[in-house]
Amino acid sequence: MIYRKFANTDIKLSQLGFGAMRFPITQQYDPTTIDKTKAETMLHYAIDSGVNYVDTAYPYHRQTSEIFVGKALRGGYRNKVYLATKMPVWLVKSKEDSSKYFNEQLKRLQTDTIDMYLLHSLGKNGWKTVNDHNILDFLDKTLAAGKIRFTGFSYHDELPLFKEIVDAYPWTFCLVHLNYVDDHYQAGIEGMEYAYKKGLAVIIMEPLRGGKLANNVPKEILELMEQTGRNQTPVQFALRWVLNRPEVSCMLSGMSSLEQVQENIRFASEEHANTLSPKELQLYQAAKEFYQSKTKVNCTQCGYCMPCPQKIPISFILELYNDACMYNATRDSQRMYRVFVNSEYRGNQCIECGECEEKCPQKIPIAVTLKEAHRLLN
């Protein structure tokens, strides 16, 4: 395993971290049914092979990931890893809630210290909650009490707010979405460089876009990969782009089988930063442009269209629609639509009031597009 510096501390993180969000499950569509035997084998194998960062969160596997990780780290494994979890900021409704959730997380994880504690999924609303309920004050006190070693935040919103949050508190690290297609999405490369220059360690999530850059890869992308002259799988092609960036401390992968753990560990044990040639970087650019050319709707996920009077999760449905078309992932998007969008709030429930279209900065014909999306996804 290759290790990288964690901000200005003495800590070195394995450049591959274990994301505890996609363990194998025994019943399709029920994330609470973690296949404990397989998942424990995967986690132990990873730690035995040098992975020293495990990232979980309160809601993962519908609140069963932390409990599973706590059990799986018994027997000496807890001391071999830096354990990260995240405060479910959206559940915090009072000052007392911060410590209520934190204490529950300590219990679930069977530990008295969280090494890396993040505020989960910050964006406009989350940041407001943080300020309304003095969550930064809670972080200060919990750090001082030695129950947290380092503080960070994960982020899902636009770049300007990301920079504001970086500057608002002495964080040690941040967790951002980055892959070769989404290099200018949310915080993106610019956000990563900004945080890094300010001394934060940068951890990456969704390096394979949740698996979309690994599965059903179109022949056009395979041809571009071939032109690199390297013998590599689509997974390696995508992970290499992330690890090429020297700003990255650790890249998380939510692996869902032992084979994936083995492949990613092999790769992360050999791959260094700054190895991509200018020609290869151009090929990544072409691969990104190919995916983008398949974009169905020019939605940037800004969320200005929301809230919908019919409570339709417009931007989420448009994202599923785009994903289906861009990544040959219709079945994945259909599954997400079925699981996450209640039938009362699906695209066919749009009453064409036009409120969202007035607010959309991209001028997307949302009413028509929601109906098209529904036809594909339902």
Ligand X SMILES: NC(=O)c1ccc[n+]([C@@H]2O[C@H](COP(=O)([O-])OP(=O)(O)OC[C@H]3O[C@@H](n4cnc5c(N)ncnc54)[C@H](OP(=O)(O)O)[C@@H]3O)[C@@H](O)[C@H]2O)c1
User: Binding residues for ligand X, per CB under 6 A?
Assistant: 19-22, 55, 86, 120-121, 154, 156, 175, 205-211, 214-215, 235, 252-256, 260, 263-264
Q: Which token pair is 244?
A: 């090429």
Say what the alpha-carbon torsion angle 290, 284, 161, 295 is, to the nearest 10 degrees: 10
CA distances in angstroms from 362 to 162, 289, 298, 301, 356, listed in the order given: 22, 19, 7, 10, 11
**CA dist., res. 138 & res. 140, Å (int):** 5
CB of 162 to ligand X, least distance (A): 13
Q: Given the complex with ligand X, which of 97 and 206 has the nearer CB atom? A: 206
Nearer residue to ligand X within complex by CB, 209 or 374: 209
Neighbours of 77 (CB within 10 A): 17
Residue 84: strand pairing partners: 55, 116
Residue 24 beta carbon to ligand X: minimum distance, rounded to whole angstroms: 8
| Min dist. Cβ of residue 90 to ligand X (A) | 11
Cα 112 to chain centroid, rounded = 26
Least distance in angstroms from the C-beta of 237 to ligand X: 11
The total number of residues written for the chain in this structure:
378
CA–CA separation, 119 and 40 (whole Å): 26
**Between residues 239 and 283, which has the closer beta carbon with respect to ligand X?**
239
Residue number, 209 or 245, with CB nearest to ligand X:
209
**Smallest distance, Å, CB 203 to ligand X?**
8
Smaller CB separation from ligand X, 70 or 211? 211
Token digits for 347? 């695209």
Which lies closer to ligand X via its Cβ, residue 189 or residue 367?
A: 189
Which of 248, 260, 270 is closest to 215 using CA atoms? 260
Nearest distance in Å: CB 79, ligand X: 21
Closer to ligand X by CB, 252 or 350: give it: 252
* Helix boundaries (H) for the chain: 36-48, 60-63, 65-72, 95-109, 124-132, 135-144, 159-168, 188-197, 219-227, 234-243, 258-268, 278-293, 314-326, 330-340, 355-359, 366-377
> Closer to ligand X at the Cβ: 113 or 232?
232
CB 339 within 8 A of CB 320: no
Least distance to ligand X, CB of residue 136, Å: 18
Shortest CB 331 distance to ligand X, Å: 11
